[in-house]
């Protein structure tokens, strides 16, 4: 448990530290699609989304280390919450990635789920998106922004997931298994005529090329799906709060709680599926 917490902490630091702004915020918008640059360190722009991600990454790491470093036989409330969350995610992803891949892949998946979930919910906290300073255009440049409402963050998460997936399949499946899964002839030579069997090599090779293109687009789909939902939710809450400041926005806050949970689970499960497609062959016989 303790070693997995250390891996989880490393994954969280990685996810929260590589956010780099693509473009500065534009004034005059109610909710900018870009993070606001607050300052810079050694020439690196520091944005409000980066500040939020770093703060909550540190909070998550400290909470996990505090409750998991010295587990008690009769768990405290915090320990019970963490253990139930870890166990719940493990039970969901284990059948997808396979039992052999749980140990190497679970720290990544648990880290992604926890980090994304907390970042999705940060926009619901008091002070996030409200405190800041007004620029020369009269627009509020707030100090804290939900991390996943910035495309830089979701791209960073998608790239971490993609290269981690690549590392896992190369290490635990190997190039031969990957090549067969992408381009190999899946037909049984004893069940189909010879001419059809050899023709299928061309078809499966073409399908493999299409699959490679879809694999290269996975970071795009992962990042834009998460960003679109979170940025849309931020706009929704801003609009509803601007129309009526009390009572009316409350149902939308509950909606965003649900959407934040669903999107964290969707992102994690998709990464688990990508790993399982190559590495999870339990109960199958492979000639390769």
Mean pLDDT in runs of 10 for the chain (288 residues)? 49 43 42 76 84 88 83 82 89 91 92 92 76 67 80 92 94 89 77 78 88 93 92 82 75 89 94 91 50
Within a domain: residue 235? yes
In a domain, 286, yes or no: no
Output the six-digit token pair for 225. 């799906």
| The pLDDT of residue 20 | 40
> Could you give the CA distance from residue 146 to residue 53 in angstroms, rounded to a whole number?
8
Q: Which pair of structure tokens corresponds to residue 154? A: 């979701």
The two three-digit tokens of residue 111, written as one number = 């880290």
pLDDT at 34: 75
Q: Within 10 Å of residue 92's Cβ, how many Cβ atoms?
A: 15
- In this prediction, residue 68 carries a pLDDT of 77
Query: Cα separation of 69 and 3, whole Å?
Result: 10
pLDDT, tens digit, for every residue of 101-137? 999 999 999 999 999 999 999 888 777 766 666 666 6
Asked if 49 and 153 touch (Cβ cutoff 8 Å), the reply is yes
Residue 182 covered by a domain: yes
pLDDT score of 145: 82
- Residue 93 is assigned to a structural domain of this protein: yes
Residue 287 lies in a domain: no
pLDDT, the chain, mean: 80
Cβ(116)–Cβ(269) below 8 Å? no
Exposure class string for 186-219: b at 16+ Cβ within 10 A, else e: ebeeeeeeeeeeeebeeebeeeeeeeeeeeeebb
* Secondary structure tally for the chain: helices H, strands E: 9, 4
Instruction: Provide the CA 93 distance to its chain's centre, in angstroms.
Output: 14
Instruction: Express each pLDDT in 197-237 by its tens digit.
Output: 788 888 888 988 999 999 999 999 999 999 998 888 888 88
Sequence-separated contacts (24+) of 155-159 with Cβ below 8 Å: 155/219, 155/223, 156/15, 156/18, 156/19, 156/20, 157/15, 157/112, 157/115, 157/116, 157/222, 157/223, 157/226, 157/267, 158/218, 158/219, 158/220, 158/222, 158/223, 158/226, 159/18, 159/219
Q: What is the pLDDT of residue 22?
A: 41
Task: State the total domains in the chain.
Answer: 1
Q: Is residue 288 part of a domain?
A: no
Please indicate, yes or no, if residue 284 is contained in any of the structural domains. Answer: no
| Helix, strand, or coil (residue 139) | coil
Domain that holds residue 80: 2-279
> What is the pLDDT at residue 215?
93
Q: Is residue 145 part of a domain?
A: yes
């Amino acid at each position: 448990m303790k070693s997995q917490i250390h891996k989880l902490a490393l994954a969280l630091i990685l996810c929260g530290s590589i956010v780099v702004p693509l473009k500065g915020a534009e004034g005059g918008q109610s909710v900018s699609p870009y993070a606001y640059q607050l300052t810079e360190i050694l020439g690196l722009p520091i944005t409000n989304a980066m500040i939020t991600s770093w703060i909550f990454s540190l909070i998550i790491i400290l909470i996990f280390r505090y409750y998991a470093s010295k587990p008690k036989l009769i768990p405290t409330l915090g320990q019970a919450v963490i253990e139930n969350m870890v166990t719940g995610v493990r039970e969901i992803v284990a059948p997808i990635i396979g039992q052999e891949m749980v140990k190497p892949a679970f720290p990544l998946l648990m880290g992604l789920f926890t980090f994304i979930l907390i970042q999705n919910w940060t926009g619901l906290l008091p002070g996030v998106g409200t405190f800041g300073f007004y620029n020369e255009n009269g627009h509020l440049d707030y100090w804290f922004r939900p991390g996943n409402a910035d495309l830089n963050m979701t791209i960073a998460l998608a790239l971490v997931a993609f290269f981690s997936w690549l590392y896992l399949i190369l290490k635990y499946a190997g190039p031969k298994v990957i090549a067969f899964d992408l381009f190999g002839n899946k037909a049984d030579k004893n069940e189909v005529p010879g001419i059809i069997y050899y023709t299928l090599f061309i078809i499966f090779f073409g399908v493999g090329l299409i699959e490679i293109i879809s694999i290269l687009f996975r970071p795009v789909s992962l990042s834009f799906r998460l960003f679109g939902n979170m940025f849309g939710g931020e706009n929704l809450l801003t609009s509803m709060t601007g129309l009526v400041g009390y009572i009316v926005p409350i149902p939308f806050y509950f909606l965003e709680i649900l959407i934040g949970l669903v999107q964290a689970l969707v992102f994690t499960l998709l990464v688990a599926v990508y790993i399982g497609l190559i590495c999870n062959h339990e109960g199958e016989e492979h000639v390769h």
